[in-house]
Amino acid sequence: MDMEFKYEKFKDLVHYICHIADRDELGATKLNKILWYSDMVSYINHGVPLTGAVYIKRQFGPVPKDILRALKDLSEEGRMAVRDIPYFKDTKREYISLAEPDISRFDKSEISLAANITHDICHHHTATSISAATHDIIWELADIGEEIPYFAVYGAQLGEITEEDIRWAKESIANNAALYNE
């Protein structure tokens, strides 16, 4: 399984998301969640994340460790501008795409996945609602600042333990014990 972090692909995904999202609908929280879900859904569906970014637990949910670096690099390359604007009684980070994004590192299904997630989060969630959605068991079990491993996504949906599960576990333990006792 290829879990390598692909920084340039990550940076291109950040740019693509900022390019296709309505500026009024995309702030830092939503951008971070779009990246999180893009990587996690790809990991669940294909066994590999879209970018391999490292996500860490922050107060408002998982955040890609390299997001600030990517935004800085995109700004320095003249591909994007980032600024803080007044937003109600607070400020909001605004992302302005200044050039066409390079999507050559993505196949059609990857770019479609990112576009669908961007649309869903931007048009069907507030920053508060999408932040709350990522405060699941995966987020709860990590400490602030701790890396959240991709495989943790498999523990997000807890299920009933059946008699068949218990029977399988007992047989596995017995088989492993027999191997070690030979």
pLDDT reported for residue 52: 94
Helix ranges (DSSP H) in the chain: 7-20, 28-46, 67-76, 108-124, 127-133, 137-141, 163-180
- On whether residue 2 sits in a domain, the answer given is no
Range of the domain at 11: 7-180
- On whether residue 97 sits in a domain, the answer given is yes
Q: Which residues of the chain have pLDDT under 50?
A: 1
pLDDT reported for residue 180: 63
| Exposed/middle/buried for residue 16 (C-beta within 10 Å: 0-12, 13-18, 19+) | buried
- Answer for the pair 142, 156: CB distance below 8 angstroms, yes or no: no
- On whether residue 167 sits in a domain, the answer given is yes
- On whether residue 92 sits in a domain, the answer given is yes
pLDDT reported for residue 181: 63
pLDDT reported for residue 45: 92
pLDDT reported for residue 17: 97
Token representation of residue 174: 């017995």
Number of domains present in the structure of the chain: 1
